[in-house]
A and B are shown apart, each in its own frame.
Chain A
Amino acid sequence: MSALVALANVTLTANASTITFSSISQSYRDLLFVFNLKSTGTDYVQYRVNGLTSVYGFNLWDGQNTTINANSTYNTSFGQIDQNYANVVSGAFNSGSLYMADYSATDRRKNTFIKNSNQGGFQLVLNGARTPATAAVTSIVFSLGTHQFGTGASIALYGVTA
């Protein structure tokens, strides 16, 4: 029996401001999101769980072109997947994964591991993040800072047995 179970898969057929997963089953311990995203403009990808607007934390490396940056915060209104990226290469997608440990637990914030590659902006990101509260995660909304996800953008959601 696989410990990895496909729960949902969204592929956009038109531009959209958000991609939402709601009523997430509580039958698993961890969640895995595999994304292949496209933006209508230079932007960064963010997420919120359970509609919460504070206080997320993350710290990440961002390798962009030939420069490495570090960025950390403990008090943001959303979880951030990457840094601002430009669509230098037309048609390129922002691809990666978000692994949320212990999403169904109620005694701890959820540690979140993000690996992201954006060939549109020549950017690689490794990001350790956490959610703002200890409540079980039942919904997550992905969005962009100011733009929309483009047609063809997709996110697949898996439940992980633990």
Chain B
Amino acid sequence: MGLFPLGLLSQGGPSGGGAAYQLIASQTLGSNTTTVTFSAIPATYKHLRLVFSGRSSTASTGFSNVLARVNGNTGANYWWNYLEVSGSTYSAIRQTVAQTSGQMGFTQNNSHTAGYFSGHELEILDYASTSIAKTARFLSRTDSVDTATAYTSFGSFVFTGTSAVDSVSFTLTSGDWIATSRFSLYGISG
């Protein structure tokens, strides 16, 4: 379950002095972009939360996987697993060998009906720690009315590096994020 969506945060900080949930940065793409990155993330929060909505530029009625990386790391240092529901079936998916990114559901490609974007929540826990691997969890959904297909994915990935996370980036297995895709990064006090 998400951190703040369950109402665990007040508007004030732990001592009532500061905000417990703050917008760090937000991007609305002005043009198609292969990699969306938040960099120089301050280490002053306990957890990170990212919310974004996007769509792939690929001209097809398929779907593209959404991939997340931290600290620009492209090594085989990610392990992920998730639950996926589509139609009346659900499945559990996991990786048995380390991957080069964290996979977190799908986005629709650009030949689907306009006006539909995928939505994603991602929370990276204890991101500023320098002694533990970083666990992230996500909830993603996408659908298309033209092919009567929808996916909701709930899962997590682990980045095995122990450095503090100071950047997060998102790519797709096919195409760019289209213009107007929106990405927001929040810090959560602990």
Contact = CB atoms under 8 A, between A and B. Distances in A.
Interface of A: 1-6, 29-30, 32, 34, 55, 57, 59-61, 68, 70-72, 74, 96-97, 99, 101-102, 105, 107-109, 111-113, 115, 126-130, 134, 156, 160-162
Interface stretch (B5-13, B57-65, B72-80, B165-173): B5-13
Contacts of B143: 57, 59, 74, 130
Contacts of B1: 115
Interface band, chain B: 35 or more
Contacts, number: 138
Contact of A109 (B4, B6, B117): B117
Interface string B37-60: 000000000000001010000000
Nearest to A115: B1
Contacts of B141: 59, 111, 113, 128-130
B139 to A, nearest CB: 5
Interface string B13-48: 000000111110010000000000000000000000
Given A3-B22, A68-B90, A130-B143, A59 B85 contact: yes
B56 to A, nearest CB: 14
B96 interface: no
A140 to B, nearest CB: 16
A34 B53 contact: no
A3 B9 CA distance: 12
B87 A72 contact: yes
A108 B53 contact: yes
A36 B36 CA distance: 36
15 contacts: A1-B22, A2-B19, A2-B22, A3-B19, A4-B11, A57-B143, A59-B143, A74-B148, A74-B150, A97-B5, A111-B118, A113-B119, A113-B121, A115-B6, A128-B152
A87 B88 CA distance: 25
Given A109-B115, A162-B26, A3 B121 contact: no
B14 to A, nearest CB: 13
